[in-house]
Structure 1
Amino acid sequence: MEKPTRTSLLKEIAEFLNEETEMYSMMHGALKKLVNGSNFHTGWIFFIDEDGKHELVAEDALPPALTHNNCQYMTEGTCWCVTAYHNKKLTKASNIITCSRIVKATKEHQDKTDEITHHATVPLRSGSEQFGLLNIATPNTKRYSEEDLELLESVAFQIGSAIKRIILTDHEKEAARINERNRLARDLHDSVNQMLFSLKITAHAAKSITEQKAAQDAFQTIEDTSQSAVNEMKALIWQLKPIGLEQGLIAAIKQYSQYIQVEPEFEVEGLIDLPNTIEEHVYRIIQESLNNVKKHSRQTRAKIYLEQNKHTFKLRMSDNGIGFDSHQISHSPTHGLKNIKQRTQVIKGHIDIHSELNKGTEIEVIIPLL
């Protein structure tokens, strides 16, 4: 099939990006359109945080050498382009003379490289903000033409703008969701919860003034059912609105831990005083992690390390539970881990999840504060 012209390709990618509202499907789709609509054979995108740690967030048509062992060569260690990006020395589309990732993969799997030896790279940015790198490669190509690099610059600008738009939209949606959850929590507490409590008290009182055994049993059933409903309502309200967060993050965590019967062991460095929007996300991350301890680890204790300085906030949670294979779950995380990753992404943080079977789980989240 004939490749589209550069103008029509950019138009096609722009139209696709304008319709996308989910970050990862946007990057996968845009990368696929770039590879399929150009002379490039493969491509991949790294997100890079403020500490220079990278995450492989999209890839298309990578050769088997680079996908080996869950993309081991793409996800582990560092490389020149990631380091140069972090040091702000990589500012435009550039040819990479030697890629250590490709070199390592070639040494181990020489017959599975699809003749990929070099790649070109370009920062993804929107205005002064940078998000990561877009990389492309073509078989038997050591140097990419100025036309190739110009196309790469144009697509990177489009993707960078789309990333910024989705981030802003997600922030607006999250603020709206928080306001709606708080309103719903107030309504449930002030109306439904109070009615259930009143029903429980009434049933208890009615049971004490009748001597009929059948009536006493019926009122007892109503009282017990009402209490169960009150407990369920409390749990729902707790999910909607962080109870106790007005007294501080640690106080809220202690309350929730007590409620789900998990014992937290705290270690705190510095004064924990987070902005409201970040604080609620951090609380939800810890809440989800505690839920995972309760449901999956077969443990009732969790270590929670909190550290805050002028520039960053660090959270580290660990347990000594049954753990899981973090390599297998990295490409298809559970619902709980997806929530944790998404919340970390919204507040521009970096997350590392380490777990081994029968050796427990550790989750570390680092969030920039400036």
Structure 2
Amino acid sequence: MTNDPRVQELITLKTIAEKLNQSNDLTTMLDTVLEKLLDVTGLTTGWIFLSDGTSDYEFAADRRLPPALLHQDKQPMRCGTCWCLDRFWDGRLKNAVNILNCKRLDDAEANRLGDTCGITHHATVPLRAGSRNFGVLNVAAPGKEHFAGEELALLQAVAFQIGGAVERMRLHALEQRRAELFTKLGEFSRALSVVVSGGVAPGQLVDRAVELIGEHFDWPAAGMIEFLGDDIVLRTVHVGGRTDTPFIQLPMTDIDMCNRAAPKICFQEIKSKPAEWLLNRPELRTVLPPLRSATAAVVTLGSGAAAGLLFVGHSNKTHKLKRIDEEVLEAIAEHVAVALESARLEENRRELARMEERNRLARDLHDSVSQMLFSLSMTAKGVESLLSSEQLDSARSAVKDMQSLSKSALKEMRALIMQLRPAGLEAGLVQALQQYGRKLELDLAVHKSGIRELPHAVEEALWRIGQEALNNVSKHAGTAKAEVSLILGGSEIILRVADKGRGIRNRGTSNGLGSIGLSTMRERCEALGGTFTLASAIGHGTTVEAAIPLPSVTERGEEP
């Protein structure tokens, strides 16, 4: 083999390049390349610190350290700072430096930690690719206090190769992390949609959202900060696989720029330095571990108001959160904001439905029971005058009218009470509708297929829809005969109420199947993701059908 230094340099660079291309694991690559570098250069010791240019670093690789630096699992290399890192951080380390007296070796020798094997100095080379800095490479040998220019040039070339490989591997890891996080984001979004469809309150939704973050992502800590009057509140945290609601209140005055009129500004202040803020709050140390890195995202509602601040954090300094973590958390915050808006809209919708129900009952009371009671009152006055004039036959006839009116009023009142309270559902939906039909004096033919336990919300919605449909048969169909069919499939349930009556001449009227009755049944059905249809023909009757999807669960032998 030739002894030409230039040929040796090319061989060294070729060998290093081959090793760099053989692994996609950063730790393995650094260990292998460091070993090969020492072999081809004849040096005995080397180590690598990785750092993003801040005052923190990772002791990433080492080969053949002297016993003094191996003390207590290499503690001298993992703690404190040194001259080479100080120069790297303050921007003075631009190229390979010849020679730095090693502070870590000096300290180890002063503290009598072990043999330094005659090593006192080392060459220091910055690891970088383009304008990005990744750390420093140090190499040394016993008694060596000087590196020639050719040696430094070779070390500089190797450092450039290592820096390029570090950047390539980090970009590869970043893309893998991005793909992984966005896959989990999709799973989180689907799980959150299921929670929203269950109709939970906004507060419970926040707690469940934080729990889902902990279940779907690998961040060790997650939580939600909310505003509550004059305080900010740590509402929910997920740490160590457990979700808690500590509800710790912190005064807003403790944070610069806090403004009750602009809470988003306050949250942005927390968001700018979430790790420092969370660590500096003594009240939070009982529920959160010491966080080395954290990121946060404001949950902004459609109105522009800040509902809260989601945060996630890591306690391990070797797993610092990256920009991609922040991007995904911001996407999570948007999903949570949409879910909160949906929950609030659902609350409003339910309140409007309750108001509409009260209005409908008031209207029915006025149209039926109230008018009957008024007629009963007027008839009673007539009976009084007839008795005073001794017109007994006419009085007896009026009393019979009063009995008929009171019976009809009682029937109407019982029907309205049944609509207010879904009694009888414990016996099953079909039997409840049969019983309700008998109260309305209807002749029902009932058909059912499939056996399965129904979710409470689905059962009550179908009960209300069936009530409304049977009421309309009783009042408007002109027939006492009707058919009720309940069909249970694997993925949906269908309720069908049909009659052979007069049919609907004008669906826009207020005859019960008009704008109010029809819209009420349709809203109940569509609120659960179902479809509502109505078919009617003059002289051929009316059919009402509600189809509601069901969750995939194990069928049970209970009558619905």
TM-score by length of 1: 0.58
Q: Partners in 2 of 1:339 and 1:174 — Cα distance?
A: 18
Change (3 A) 1:135 1:253: farther
Question: 1:302 corresponds to which letter in structure 2?
Answer: V
Q: What SS does the aligned partner of 2:65 have?
A: coil
| 1:240 aligned residue | 216
Q: What SS does the aligned partner of 2:77 have?
A: helix
| 2:541 aligned residue | none
Alignment length (residue pairs) = 266
Instruction: Say whether residues 1:250 and 2:225 are aligned partners.
Output: yes
Q: What SS does the aligned partner of 2:128 have?
A: strand
| 2:98 aligned residue | 95
Q: Partners in 2 of 1:134 and 1:304 — Cα distance?
A: 33
Instruction: Say whether residues 1:155 and 2:158 are aligned partners.
Output: yes
**1:208-249 CA distance string (max 9 Å, x none):** xxxxxxxxxxxxxxxxxxxxxxxx99966752269xxxxx95
Q: Partners in 1 of 2:213 and 2:57 — Cα distance?
A: 37
Q: Partners in 1 of 2:316 and 2:75 — Cα distance?
A: 23
| 1:164 aligned residue | 167
Q: What SS does the aligned partner of 1:112 have?
A: coil
Question: 2:225 corresponds to which letter in structure 1?
Answer: I
Q: What SS does the aligned partner of 1:113 have?
A: coil
Matches within 5 A, 1:125-164: 125-164=128-167
Rg larger in structure: 2
Change (3 A) 1:108 1:162: same
Matches within 5 A, 1:322-361: 340-344=316-320, 346=322
1:32 is displaced (CA, Å) by 1.6
Change (3 A) 1:255 1:107: closer
1:340 is displaced (CA, Å) by 4.0
Matches within 5 A, 1:270-349: 271-273=266-268, 301-303=286-288, 340-344=316-320, 346=322
1:110 is displaced (CA, Å) by 8.5
* Residue 60 of structure 1, aligned match among 53, 57, 63: 63
Change (3 A) 1:339 1:22: farther
Contact 1:93–1:122 at 8 Å: present in 2 too? yes
1:127 is displaced (CA, Å) by 0.5
| 1:80 aligned residue | 83
RMSD: 4.6
Contact 1:84–1:90 at 8 Å: present in 2 too? yes
Contact 1:123–1:130 at 8 Å: present in 2 too? yes
Contact 1:123–1:156 at 8 Å: present in 2 too? yes
Contact 2:295–2:321 at 8 Å: present in 1 too? no
Matches within 5 A, 1:106-117: 106-109=109-112, 112-117=115-120
Q: Partners in 1 of 2:80 and 2:25 — Cα distance?
A: 28
Instruction: Say whether residues 1:260 and 2:236 are aligned partners.
Output: no
* Residue 28 of structure 1, aligned match among 9, 27, 31: 31
**1:348-367 CA distance string (max 9 Å, x none):** 99xxxxxxxxxxxxxxxxxx
| 2:333 aligned residue | none
Q: Partners in 1 of 2:39 and 2:153 — Cα distance?
A: 17
Q: What SS does the aligned partner of 1:37 have?
A: helix
1:105 is displaced (CA, Å) by 2.1
Change (3 A) 1:257 1:34: same
Instruction: Say whether residues 1:124 and 2:127 are aligned partners.
Output: yes
Contact 1:126–1:161 at 8 Å: present in 2 too? yes
TM-score by length of 2: 0.40
Q: What SS does the aligned partner of 1:52 have?
A: coil
1:153 is displaced (CA, Å) by 0.5
1:173 is displaced (CA, Å) by 1.6
Question: 1:263 corresponds to which letter in structure 2?
Answer: P
Question: 2:175 corresponds to which letter in structure 1?
Answer: E
Q: Which runs of 5+ in 2 are unaligned?
A: 199-207, 227-232, 257-265, 279-284, 297-312, 326-560
| 1:71 aligned residue | 74
1:175 is displaced (CA, Å) by 1.7
Q: What SS does the aligned partner of 2:167 have?
A: helix
Question: 1:103 corresponds to which letter in structure 2?
Answer: D
**1:228-277 CA distance string (max 9 Å, x none):** xxxx99966752269xxxxx953597434496237375777454449x9x
Change (3 A) 1:264 1:130: farther
Q: Which has the higher contact order (CA 8 A, sep 6+)?
A: 1
Q: Partners in 2 of 1:190 and 1:269 — Cα distance?
A: 34
Once structures 1 and 2 are overlaid, which stretch shifts more, 132-141 or 28-37? 28-37
1:128 is displaced (CA, Å) by 0.8
Q: Partners in 2 of 1:88 and 1:165 — Cα distance?
A: 23
Contact 1:80–1:100 at 8 Å: present in 2 too? yes
Contact 2:192–2:212 at 8 Å: present in 1 too? no
Q: Partners in 2 of 1:129 and 1:86 — Cα distance?
A: 13
Contact 1:306–1:313 at 8 Å: present in 2 too? yes
Q: What SS does the aligned partner of 1:260 have?
A: strand
**1:309-335 CA distance string (max 9 Å, x none):** xxx9799xxxxxxxxxxxxxxxxxxxx
| 2:523 aligned residue | none
**Percent identity over paired residues:** 30
1:148 is displaced (CA, Å) by 1.7
Q: Partners in 1 of 2:247 and 2:40 — Cα distance?
A: 53
Q: Partners in 2 of 1:40 and 1:302 — Cα distance?
A: 50
1:5 is displaced (CA, Å) by 3.3
Matches within 5 A, 1:166-245: 166-188=169-191, 238-240=214-216
Contact 1:63–1:113 at 8 Å: present in 2 too? yes
| 1:41 aligned residue | 44
